[in-house]
Structure 1
Amino acid sequence: MRWIAGGTYTGEALDFARQAFGSSQLDRKVAIVLTDGRSDTRRDAKPLSSLCSVPNIRVVGIGIGDIFRWASYATMLEEITCLGTASPGLYLKITDDVQLLEDSFFNNVTGYICQDKKCPDYTCPANFQEATDIVFMLDGSSSVGQANFYRAREFVENMAARLLSQDRGGLLRLSVMQYSDGQQQRVEVPFTARVEDVLTGLAATLCMDGATDLPAALAFLTSTLQREGRSAVPRKVVVFTDGRSVASAWAAIPRAAAALAENTQLLAVTVGEGFDEAGVCQLVMGQANGFDYHVVDSRVHRVALYSDLARRVVMQSLARKLSKAL
């Protein structure tokens, strides 16, 4: 999906949606409209209430502040969501699109949609179909900072609890490693299927607070997996990284990543905008250039802030990526 970047013909868009609903045979219909509440009503002849004529529909309007931080227009949102009709909808106003990720917001929307029947399960379960060894590699570099390191550590604790507690078939093992400069790599939690082992090991894990040597970390990972990993079992490795490494080692990233066994897949977690895109691509692709960005996108987990790692939706999304077959 690409940004159209044109004028705002909201009525035209809603009428297009109305026509799409025309062929639906279902008893219940839901439309969720994300908008800043503005529309070029002088040139757009279609009414903002276009969806209100669709039988058995619930319209949810989400008013988001625009790029100038102006609040969404309530009057247009009311018209879009059929307020004042026999089947009024719901509109919610938020100031920033980041709020779309908040659990309370998500619960408000799904609670309204499913108010007269049991909601489907939106917990995004990670269903592993085969035995898998999972490794989390924490970046203990000084550039991360101790506060952010401990946020990442807490995220791994939560992920471990989620993955292992839901593993009814005993398919998963999980390990945690930490890396920093060329001489500092360590297994913080050996492979285990017990949540308690992970929590105990991470509680004693302190930030190394050194430089960053990603190729050395990957070499350590390779040797550890050769000793401790199950040979015939897929391996998923989640690396916290900004794609950077000391200058003397940077060019070795793709070679070190490519040296991992074929049944090993690297995923990267990046935080903020200050990461080295080429370095991250080399890490997850195991090659110096010619990246397939569809593959890169499926293997890179981006969050805006370290505090976002505490959001349930971030954990759900990564768990789903981990559960997909190689």
Structure 2
Amino acid sequence: METVLCPDPVIKCPDLPCKAEQYVAPCVGRPVDLVFLLDGSERLGMDNFQHIREFVQKVADRLVLAKNKNDQMWSRLALIEFGKENELRVAFNLTHNREVVAAGITALPYLDSSSAVGAAITYSIDHILGKGRSRKTRRGAEISFVFITDGVTDSSSLDEAVSAMRREQIISTVIATGSDVDNDILNKLVMNDQEAIFKGEKLSDMLQPSLFDRFIQWVC
């Protein structure tokens, strides 16, 4: 496609991002529904919580979002924060609206709680994605769950929740920082795909171009 559309991108296609892989517009030409599940446990800390806000906003700024609610292409985002079972905060449901995303990120409180990731997965499948006539995802959309957690969580019902992700054909990614992580939980969340785990010494590392660009390429 690049050869046909941009045989000489500098001269013939100066406005198209065809010069190198890193310039390819993210998630072009296909629908991606991206759901962030944020661990709001006390282990996270307020500084890391702020870095996560910046990270999700940066992702929203980078991706090409759907043009309107009926657009069947491009990306949409959702963000929920989970604490202990039944303690959830939805910053915003699946949306293309950048103002809704920015307002939701700004207003999201830090739970500073314990966490139960299995319950958060089940809630997201039932309510963020929806079922039957209440289905909120788009036809043919790739559904991607991005977990931001150290994996230290109540793991009850986790196996059932991961099985539900498999049934829904959800692609999962984990962002974790530091050395004090529960790798067994992280591996379960990504269904044993080691390449889907992004690690840094601290969450602010995800804002650096090397990790951030790799994350964008991964989810796209």
TM tier, smaller: 0.7 to 0.9
- Structure number, greater radius of gyration: 1
Question: How does the TM-score come out when normalised to structure 2?
Answer: 0.79
CA contact (8 A) 2:33 2:144 kept: yes
Superposed CA offset, 1:158-195 (max 9, x none): 01111136989942111111111102112211211122
Deviation per CA, 1:277-302: give whole Å up to 9, x if none.
111111111xxxxx4xxxx2221111
Deviation at 1:318? 0.7
Q: Which residue in the other structure is 1:150 paired with? A: 50
Alignment match, 2:39: 139
- From 258, 268, 281, the counterpart of 2:174: 268
More contact order relative to length (CA 8 Å, sep ≥ 6): 2
Instruction: Identify which of 181, 190, 198 aligns with 2:93.
Output: 190
The 5 A counterparts of 1:244-259 are 244-246=152-154, 250-259=155-164
Matches for 1:1-326 after TM superposition, within 5 Å:
121=20, 123=22, 125=24, 126-164=26-64, 170-224=73-127, 225-226=129-130, 227=134, 228-230=136-138, 232-246=140-154, 250-260=155-165, 261-285=167-191, 291=192, 296-323=193-220
Alpha-carbon distance in 2 for matches of 1:242, 1:300: 11
Structure 1 residue 211: deviation in Å?
A: 0.5
Stretches (4+) displaced over 4 A: 165-170
**Corresponding pairs, count:** 192
TM-score, normalized by length of structure 1?
Answer: 0.54
Post-superposition Cα deviations, 1:219-257, rounded to whole Å, max 9, x if no partner, equal: 1111121243235422011110112213xxx25323211
Gaps of at least 5 residues in structure 1 are: 1-119, 286-290
Answer yes or no: is the 8 Å Cα contact 2:64–2:75 preserved in 1: yes
**What amino acid maps onto 2:39 in structure 1?**
D
Residue 151 to residue 212, structure 1, CA distance change in 2 (3 Å): same
Percent identity of the aligned residues? 23
**Contact map agreement 1:272 1:304 (CA 8 A) in 2:** yes
Q: How well do the aligned residues superpose, as a CA RMSD in angstroms?
A: 2.2
How far did 1:204 drift? 0.8
Could you report, residue by residue, the CA deviation over 1:16-66 in whole angstroms, capped at 9, with x for unpaired residues?
xxxxxxxxxxxxxxxxxxxxxxxxxxxxxxxxxxxxxxxxxxxxxxxxxxx
